[in-house]
Structure 1
């Protein structure tokens, strides 16, 4: 009998790829999806059992988790802008609901997709699983810490769970990193504030591989793993490749970090006073992330699980840029 897998966040970038892998592996796949989500029909057409509900609703979560062998928890509010309470309700409360239901129904395994954002970006060198979390009074990183701590607490109570800390995730289907960079480059709105800052990324297929390894290997129970391609690249180089691919001039303007962060703070203040739901052009969280000097150390996943990134970074970027043209063929002309 095929394993029954529940994927939360199945309509998102990471979750949708997890659904695809589980279907390809012959699993019975369930997805917890908000009512009215545009992807519901396509999920059902692909053979997914859709449970309409929200991770904030403990009753809906309980119904979704029931009779699941494996839970892949990828649901999260990932923006760098929004009301703090909404982040708390989804990233902390939602994760608590998933953990409680998993304990109650005796789920065999749970894999929680956390974030590299749990750690201090200003640390020099490599960050590993022993590095302490660093709260920054920012909605997304602080609530990802809170949600991940819910998983650690559930592990102490007997939940067979593993935790992943993905860095920047990219690949076909991403609606944030590469499309937003391309749009900013075309609008001549992109500039830099940290010269030669290293950037850790992971291609979506590599992350899915690691997730499924963590879900199946007994050594992974009660453990956490960095999720990264293992290759460093600078933000400037990523932007250069995007610019060349879409036939736009390569951005070259550099501004002082302190000035850019101050401007981002002013923008946030003005946007909040105006009550705008749309994110500002700059946020302090985005400025901090793209000025990071820290890299993820993936040696634990390699040694404990035998994991390796099957798609090299250069190939992953090439595939992503080729896909980008499908977002808007008239706008993106990938070379």
Structure 2
């Protein structure tokens, strides 16, 4: 089967391509010209095309001749200009679905996010939980994108299935997991609150597995949404201390009150916004980041297990071990490179 992966240069996109190749699919990877796509380009059996969700002509070229589209491309993170998020996560999504339908694509699997449920959760959250937009453009546009897809399914019969991954971690994640490992390794990191809150961690290959199963399932799943999280109920302290164990460093002991950190994040956001820094680097604390680590976020994956056959294969110990092994190897590689440069100098 010939498939297209958008956002192919990203963390999830790269692992999804790995698993699609492993099962024998013919993969076309769409990357933006400005991205570092060295990993994808190193895969000789993957066709790399350049495109952008905001460039409809590039999308038309990308979808030609494929049976399935996995949309991983998105503007992520909680900080930036609203119009940029909307152009990619809503308008670009609409363009992708429209050109895919015109090209005869049989199934579109769209990666949304658990952010559509909101961040202040308590009871076990299922896919029937109402949308709740947090005060950031990522949350708002992910919800808007899902509403758009619901209308396209209803009005035009768009062959779309939505997955909502949790907090993805694993090898090759420099944007999030790598930074968390470095903080734990430093011995200066801390728990946000008591550390007893449930964090929705999920290993990257389990998310890729769920996306593939959403593509393979029968037409009864079209228009449905599925939360993809881990099987275990993992607390913040368990997750971070599992990283510590894999590194061979002491467990985190310092606890900083969640309410103080959340207030600090909100204050920083307001200060940055008042200073006109919406298009600059994000503040050191954001309410999104504080809640992701320190908030209670229990999710049910029963629908995905029942209707897609989704079965997470990585418990947190195995997943973290794989991720930390990558981190240490990458760190060793960087140190070796620096030493060679110093000798040459």
TM norm. shorter chain > 0.5: yes
Where do 1:1-335 residues align within 5 Å? Answer: 3-39=1-37, 42-43=40-41, 45-156=43-154, 157-185=156-184, 186=186, 188-218=188-218, 219-272=220-273, 273=275, 275=277, 277-329=280-332
The Cα RMSD (Å) is 2.2
Deviation of 1:191 after TM superposition, in Å, equals: 4.1
Give CA-to-partner distance per residue, 1:240-294, whole Å, 9 cap, x none.
Answer: 2223333444332223322212211222234442737222221111112223223
* Whole-Å separation in 2 of the counterparts to 1:42 and 1:117: 28
Pick closer, same or farther for the CA change 1:328–1:199 going to 2, 3 Å. same
Greater CA drift, 183-192 or 62-71: 183-192
Greater CA drift, 126-135 or 244-253: 244-253
Q: Conserved in 2, the CA contact under 8 Å of 1:178 and 1:242?
A: no
Q: Secondary structure at the match of 1:127?
A: coil
Provide the TM-score with structure 2 as the length reference.
0.88
Deviation of 1:33 after TM superposition, in Å, equals: 1.0
Please list every run of 5 or more consecutive structure 1 residues that lacks an aligned counterpart in the other structure: none
Equivalent pairs counted in the alignment come to: 330
Provide the TM-score with structure 1 as the length reference.
0.91
Pick closer, same or farther for the CA change 1:223–1:30 going to 2, 3 Å. same
* Whole-Å separation in 2 of the counterparts to 1:187 and 1:39: 33
* Whole-Å separation in 1 of the counterparts to 2:194 and 2:136: 20
Please list every run of 5 or more consecutive structure 2 residues that lacks an aligned counterpart in the other structure: 336-345
